[in-house]
Amino acid sequence: MDIATLIGFVGTFGLILMAMGDPSPFVDMPSVYIVLGGTTTAVLARSSIPDLIGAIGTGLKTLLGKVDDPGKLIEQLVELGTIARKDGMIALEGQDIKNTFLAKGIRMLVDGTDGALVKKAMEVEKTNIESRHAVALSVFESAKEIAPAMGMIGTLVGLVLMLGNMSDPKSIGPAMAVALLTTMYGAIVANVLCIPLIQKLQQLDFKEKCNNELIIEAVMFIQSGGNPRLMPDVLMGYVAPKKRAAVKTE
C-alpha cells in the first residue's frame, strides 16, 4: 500500500470537510447527477465500459500496489542466477517469486524455451502493461477535462432555473445551490482526484517500465549462463546513484 497516496487523499478530503463544518448544506443530489453522472457518461462516450473498469482497477494500484525496489530485484536476480549456474535451470522451479513479470520469465527458462522467444514474449508482456497504463491515463485525462466542464454546465442550469423563477423566492435557493455546488464538485473531481491519480499513474508506469526492462536484461543474462557476480554491474544503471553502494555491498 502506498502510504503517501492514502495520506494525500484522506488529508485533502479531511481538510475540505473540516472547512465545511456541517457538510449537509454542501450535499445536493442534482449537482451530483450533473457532475459525477455527466462526467462518467461523457468519459464512456470517449472510451468504453471495459476501459473505464480497467482504469478504475489501475487507479487502485496507486493506492494498494507497490512497485518493487530495483536494488531488491537485483539481489533476487543474483540469487536466482547463482542457483541456475550451480544446479541448472530446472532448479529455479518452485522458487518464491512474487513479481509476476519475473515469474513468467523464470518459468520460461525452466521450460527450456529458446532465449530469443523468451525475450520476445517478455517484451510483448511489457508492451501490454504499458498499453493498459496508457488507457487508464487517457480515461483519467478525459475525466479531468470533463468534470470542470460539467460543473460549468450545472452552473448555467442553476442560473437559468433561478432567473426563470425569480417570482418564487423558495425556488431561488435550490437553483443557486445547483449553480454553485456543481462548480465545486467539478473542481474537486478534477483537481483533488484526477490530477493526483494521473501523476501517480505516470510515476507508476515509469517505475514498472524500468523494472521490467531490468528483469528482461537479467533473465537473458541468466539464460546465457553469465556469471551472477557480474550481474549487479550490468544492472546498476537501473538503480539510483545514492543506492548503488548499498546494492554492491549486499
Residue pLDDT tens, the chain, 250 long: 678 888 888 898 889 888 888 888 888 888 899 999 999 999 999 888 999 999 988 888 877 778 888 888 888 998 999 998 888 888 888 888 888 999 999 999 998 888 899 999 999 999 999 999 999 999 999 999 999 999 999 888 888 877 777 777 676 777 787 888 899 999 999 999 999 999 999 999 999 999 999 999 999 999 988 888 888 888 888 887 777 666 666 6
Give the count of alpha carbons within 13 A of 204, CB side only: 26
Residue 99 belongs to a domain:
no
> Do the domain assignments include residue 128?
yes
* CB of 184 closer than 8 Å to CB of 27: no
pLDDT for the residue 1: 61
Cell of 74: 537485483
Instruction: Identify the pLDDT of residue 135.
Output: 93
Q: What is the pTM of this model?
A: 0.82
The tally of domains found in the chain comes to 1
In the prediction, which pLDDT does 235 show?
A: 84
What range defines the domain where residue 139 resides? 3-71+114-249
The pLDDT value recorded for residue 85 is 87
Residue 161: per-residue pLDDT: 79
Q: Is residue 101 part of a domain?
A: no
Residue at 48 is within a domain: yes
Alpha helices of the chain — where are they, by DSSP H? 3-20, 29-32, 38-46, 49-64, 70-87, 100-110, 115-164, 169-187, 195-223, 231-235, 241-249
Residue 29 lies in a domain: yes
Q: Is 221 among the domain residues?
A: yes
In a domain, 84, yes or no: no
First-residue to last-residue Cα distance in the chain: 26
Is position 132 within any domain? yes
